Structure 1
């Protein structure tokens, strides 16, 4: 049995970060999928004409997320909503944030955990805080000497891909990302990428899941929606391995769980 835990800030964060990888393992009876959300996204944008209020948006986004995983064909075996305030996760006492994530990780003893890296992909303070707290919770698992906690990964965008996407956006007359601005996408150096997953076999599943996040279509997608371009965007997922320490220059792995048995590292040396 391989247990995989994804820890994210908002509903829909994971829909374009791990949905393809989960889809590739959807029919594996030895695959357990656990999803953790720090918030319900209640402070998100409400697009004009969408039937939601500030009071109802959180419940709507929770339902959209659950519908998204049904559409993608693999609902989580366990789905935890930690109930922190959307947009204010960075204000939550760090120990409280870590403790909530650790309560799930301690019970599940996962083989692999995925979260945000220090860049938060979009520089979003909620993303950055959740990533840092997940790293700290994972470190507890490494240090206690028990089972699991074989690999910690951060979802990222390679710099070369970021630049290519931005060039394409400019050519299409779309606004481009400025990585110095909060909430804008940013890349990481290509040489830090440890895992590149080809998710083309499950592209339709990934898109079906994304489309269920109806309240956030104006945030997730460009207008008008170009499904052909979206299919190209979701054909890959990239990750850096935060644990165990990696040698740079090694060939990229092609799956979140590839090579687990080949990795070594002192369990007490987390973060070294």
Structure 2
């Protein structure tokens, strides 16, 4: 491994960060020079709350910030730097685009990450906040890369391949849940299998990913709808999070190129 590897993840809400790269962080935690930077656009304060969660006497955003901290503590490798941009939940798509690019880009400029990960144009769940954050991060990455300084070598979009999505959707139907519809907000949206550029086997640390996920207690209705927390459900999640799938947005991936097994693979 190289002496320094900086990974930046830019997302919209608490728990967005719990899925796509938590396994990669665990796999690289002991690498010399590894640094993990996390950016949240909003604290998710306008979200819904799991009906089974006890009545709250404070704003949801404050609770979700604590859940995010608890999740990375349970995971075992908290970010080296974590920034809240403090936009209101559900309004990020209405923030002036240049402002959002500047806010994200300023942090990336300070950190000069080797790899930046965010949402793709489908926003993973078609959420407008996700789509806005992804587009602004892409623009910030492009600007950073153009300045000729050290750092940005790879831009990634978190995703779910269509064949995996179809298998998961079949499982939802078997459990009596409403199937996802691609493009419907809050439903997982797939990308074509051939667009996957990186697929990381994180099964060895899947239990740590699940441990983090389960700290997002106010969002249990989203994470595992209709299913009570138990050992069987944890085992199902261990299987589901065992592979992290990513689109390589930059540099352009030649058609038919081999799928890489790590976000840093092949970088100088």
Displacement of 1:108 in angstroms is 0.3
TM norm structure 2: 0.94
Distance 1:52 1:127 in 2: 26
In structure 1, list runs of 5 or more residues that go unmatched. Answer: 262-272
Tell whether the 8 Å contact from 1:16 to 1:206 is kept in structure 2 after alignment: yes
- Structure 2 partner of 1:163: 166
Tell whether the 8 Å contact from 1:34 to 1:76 is kept in structure 2 after alignment: yes
Does structure 1 residue 255 correspond to structure 2 residue 259? no
In structure 2, list runs of 5 or more residues that go unmatched. Answer: none
Distance 1:182 1:216 in 2: 16
Structure 1 residues 108-117 or 19-28, which shifts more?
19-28
Distance 1:45 1:172 in 2: 22
Tell whether the 8 Å contact from 2:196 to 2:247 is kept in structure 1 after alignment: yes
TM norm structure 1: 0.93
CA RMSD of aligned residues (A): 1.1
Displacement of 1:167 in angstroms is 1.3
Structure 1 residues 63-72 or 164-173, which shifts more?
164-173
2:236 equivalent among 214, 218, 229 = 229
1:198 equivalent among 198, 201, 208 = 201
Tell whether the 8 Å contact from 2:172 to 2:179 is kept in structure 1 after alignment: yes
Displacement of 1:222 in angstroms is 2.4
- Structure 2 partner of 1:215: 218
Does structure 1 residue 62 correspond to structure 2 residue 65? yes
What is the SS of the residue equivalent to 2:107?
helix
The count of residues paired between Structure 1 and Structure 2 equals 260
- Structure 1 partner of 2:54: 50
Distance 2:54 2:133 in 1: 28
Does structure 1 residue 6 correspond to structure 2 residue 9? yes
Tell whether the 8 Å contact from 1:193 to 1:238 is kept in structure 2 after alignment: yes
Displacement of 1:94 in angstroms is 0.5
Distance 2:220 2:174 in 1: 22
